[in-house]
């Protein structure tokens, strides 16, 4: 064999799966090329290592479950193996879920998440949830409750109602009604129902909502206007500051340039003077015959 | 009884329950051994073995050539090993564990009980563990070939039949697999002399 046998041929030789003529050819080549024989020997050693591994014997009998249980290899039909695998996986699953929840909890605490249960609903927020505004409360229902006085005395309601004369009158009327209820505890609901006109109350709420909206709109517009003015002022100030800075910088550069010019001229003059002195000395020496 | 008993396979194919049970008894340990060498893990090896025999029970009647039973069975086992490996990779990012459970598998072998003394048993156990680790670090296509050749004793032709590839490809994979193993063992400083020296000092 002139050429080196390829990997396939070497493997077939190593595992004795060659026919006689081929085996003799490879053997002859290996005799002539000890380096290839050495390489094959090393592979053979690796094989011997692999042979040192034990034969793995399952301790459990063959176990199958369900409809295939017809061919168990032992009378001791057991679900142990599959159950153990399933249990291990179940445990891993639950552990993973618990870890995920823990991570979420830590992330929630870190990001200041608030979770609360209010009015039959779960609320998740990143800050304190503000209380609902007074205008959204049903006044009829509120007046029938013991905390009606609180609503009447609410500062927000008072401010909103004080904006409008008619609303103010209505507020006074409501206050009177609540006072009456306190004076005559027997049947306050009846008195309120007689005195308060439903439509008026609804109109009152709508008006107060509109007023609220306009008030907030006005506030937002005023705030925007103020911000715009502030921005213009800031921009102007910034431009002035930049101009002033630029002027200062230019002055400083001019001064430095002048200083440099002066210094250069002075040194030039000094150099010229020294050179002229040297020349005159040389001329003197030459004239007097010095070497 | 031969593992390649064609008549037994034929009977099992025809629905003979006793023949099928004999077939399972004959092949159970070998298939388990193959799967264990593939995974180095008892639970996963058991899982793949069970699935292999369930598939065998379901599909044996459809086997056209009973003389190809051996390669057919190994092909089923390899497919389930691949499937199990894929599953493991898929859940790998979520579940920590499970590939490092090889110690459990080793305790389930009959190896330790047959050894003459505890020191040798320990040494052999360590060696077995190292070999399993080295085998596991091979590329999957080389590992399968090495296991089938070294532990299952299949001919190259049979392996080529199981893997549905050319014989030369199988031999080439075997060559590079052995070379890679050699490198790994050298890297871990495992030499024949070390073991021989250990044996002499006892």
**pLDDT tens-digit map of A42-69:** 999 888 888 877 777 777 776 554 444 4
Which residue in B has a C-alpha nearest to residue A59's C-alpha?
A: B108
Residue B9: closest CA among B52, B54, B55, B73: B73
Question: What is the 8-class DSSP label of residue A133?
Answer: P
From A142's Cα to the closest Cα of chain B, the distance in A is: 54
φ and ψ of A186, to 5 deg: -80, 110
pLDDT bin (cut points 50, 70, 90) of residue A85 is low
Distance CA A22, CA A28 (A): 10
Distance CA B81, CA A287 (A): 112
Distance CA B159, CA B167 (A): 8
Residue to substitute from B20, B91, B98, B171, interface A, most A β-carbons within 10 A: B171
Q: Which two tokens stand for residue A8?
A: 């396939």
Closest partner CB to A55 (pick from B20, B33, B132): B33
From A76's Cα to the closest Cα of chain B, the distance in A is: 15
Question: Inter-chain contact B94–A10, Cβ cutoff 8 Å?
Answer: no
| pLDDT value of residue A194 | 55
Residue to substitute from B55, B178, B194, interface A, most A β-carbons within 10 A: B178
B45 CB neighbours in chain A (<8 A) are: 56, 58
Q: What average pLDDT is seen over chain A?
A: 78
Q: Measure the CA dihedral A190/A195/A199/A205, to 10°.
A: -90
In this prediction, the answer to ipTM > 0.90 reads: no
Question: Inter-chain contact B181–A46, Cβ cutoff 8 Å?
Answer: yes
pLDDT: is A163 or B7 the higher one? B7
pLDDT: is A204 or B114 the higher one? A204
Percent of chain A with pLDDT over 90: 36
Q: What average pLDDT is seen over chain B?
A: 80
B57 CB neighbours in chain A (<8 A) are: 64, 68, 70-71
pLDDT: is A121 or A187 the higher one? A121
Is A119 touching B (CB cutoff 8 A)?
no
Max CA distance (Å), chain B? 59
Give A125's strand partners.
A114
End-to-end alpha carbon distance in chain A: 94
Where does A144-211 show beta strands of DSSP type E? none
| A24-28, A71-75, A157-161, A188-192: segment of lowest average pLDDT | A71-75
pLDDT: is A53 or A166 the higher one? A53
* B175 pLDDT higher than 90: yes
* B43 pLDDT higher than 90: no
Is A12 touching B (CB cutoff 8 A)?
yes
Question: What is the 8-class DSSP label of residue B103?
Answer: H
* B70 pLDDT higher than 60: yes
Q: Which two tokens stand for residue B200?
A: 């002499």
Distance CA B156, CA A11 (A): 9
| pLDDT value of residue B196 | 53
**Residue B116, SS3?**
coil
Residue with tokens 């002399």: B193
Is A55 touching B (CB cutoff 8 A)?
yes
* B102 pLDDT higher than 70: no
User: HSE on the CB side for A230, CA within 13 Å?
Assistant: 6
Q: Which two tokens stand for residue B152?
A: 């299952």
| A56-60, A123-127, A162-166, B149-153: segment of lowest average pLDDT | A162-166
Query: What is the arithmetic mean of pLDDT over B166-188?
Result: 92
* B37 pLDDT higher than 60: yes
* B180 pLDDT higher than 90: yes
Closest partner CB to A68 (pick from B57, B127, B172): B57
Q: Which two tokens stand for residue B1?
A: 């009884």
- Let me know: does A11 contact B156? Beta carbons within 8 Å: yes
Question: Whats the size of chain A, residue-wise?
Answer: 291
pLDDT bin (cut points 50, 70, 90) of residue A86 is low
Query: What is the arithmetic mean of pLDDT over A150-162?
Result: 61
Question: Inter-chain contact A73–B24, Cβ cutoff 8 Å?
Answer: yes
Question: Inter-chain contact B53–A43, Cβ cutoff 8 Å?
Answer: no
Residue with tokens 């309601």: A157
Distance CA B130, CA A53 (A): 9
| pLDDT value of residue B90 | 73
| pLDDT value of residue A125 | 74
Closest partner CB to A42 (pick from B46, B156, B182): B182
pLDDT of A89-129, one tens digit each?
Answer: 788 889 999 999 999 888 888 877 777 777 677 777 776 66
User: HSE on the CB side for A119, CA within 13 Å?
Assistant: 4
Distance CA A235, CA A228 (A): 11
């Amino acid at each position: 064999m002139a050429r080196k046998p390829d990997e396939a041929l070497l493997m077939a030789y190593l595992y004795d799966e060659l026919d006689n003529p081929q085996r003799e050819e490879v053997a002859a080549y290996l005799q002539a090329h000890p380096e290839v024989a050495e390489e094959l020997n090393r592979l053979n050693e690796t094989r011997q290592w692999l042979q040192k591994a034990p034969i793995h014997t399952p301790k459990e009998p063959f176990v199958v479950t369900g409809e295939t249980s017809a061919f168990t290899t032992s009378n001791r039909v057991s679900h142990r193996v599959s159950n153990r695998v399933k249990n291990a996986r179940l445990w891993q699953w639950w552990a993973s879920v618990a870890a995920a929840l823990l991570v979420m909890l830590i992330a929630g605490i870190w990001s200041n998440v608030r979770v609360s249960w209010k009015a039959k609903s779960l609320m998740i927020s990143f800050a304190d949830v503000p209380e609902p505004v007074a205008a959204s409360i049903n006044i009829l229902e509120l007046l029938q409750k013991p905390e009606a006085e609180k609503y009447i005395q609410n500062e927000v309601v008072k401010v909103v109602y004080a904006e409008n004369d008619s609303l103010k009158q209505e507020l006074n009327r409501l206050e009177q009604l609540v006072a009456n209820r306190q004076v005559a505890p027997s049947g306050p609901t009846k008195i309120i129902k007689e005195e308060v006109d439903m439509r008026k109350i609804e109109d009152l709420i709508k008006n107060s909502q509109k007023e609220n909206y306009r008030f907030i709109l006005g506030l937002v517009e005023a705030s925007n206007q103020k911000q715009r003015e502030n921005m213009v002022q800031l921009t102007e100030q910034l431009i002035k500051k930049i101009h002033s800075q630029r002027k200062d910088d230019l002055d400083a550069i001019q001064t430095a340039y002048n200083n440099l010019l002066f210094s250069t001229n002075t040194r030039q003059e000094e150099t010229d003077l020294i050179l002229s002195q040297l020349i005159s000395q040389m001329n003197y020496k030459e004239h007097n015959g010095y070497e | 009884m031969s593992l390649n008993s064609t008549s037994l396979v034929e009977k099992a194919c025809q629905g003979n329950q006793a023949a099928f049970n004999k077939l399972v008894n004959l092949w159970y340990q070998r298939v388990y051994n193959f799967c264990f060498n593939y995974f180095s893990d008892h639970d996963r090896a058991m899982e793949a073995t069970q699935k292999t025999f369930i598939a065998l029970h379901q599909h044996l009647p459809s086997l056209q050539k009973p003389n190809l039973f051996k390669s057919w069975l190994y092909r089923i086992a390899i497919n389930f090993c691949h499937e199990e490996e894929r599953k493991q990779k898929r859940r790998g990012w979520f579940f920590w564990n499970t590939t490092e459970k090889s110690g459990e598998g080793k305790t389930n072998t009959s190896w330790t009980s047959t050894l003459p003394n505890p020191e040798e048993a320990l040494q052999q156990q360590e060696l077995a563990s190292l070999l399993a680790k080295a085998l596991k670090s091979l590329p999957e296509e080389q590992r399968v070939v090495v296991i089938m050749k070294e532990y299952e004793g299949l001919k190259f032709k049979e392996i080529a039949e199981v893997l549905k590839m050319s014989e030369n490809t199988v031999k080439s994979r075997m060559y590079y697999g052995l070379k890679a193993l050699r490198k790994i063992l050298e890297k871990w400083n495992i030499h024949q002399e070390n073991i021989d020296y250990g044996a002499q000092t006892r």
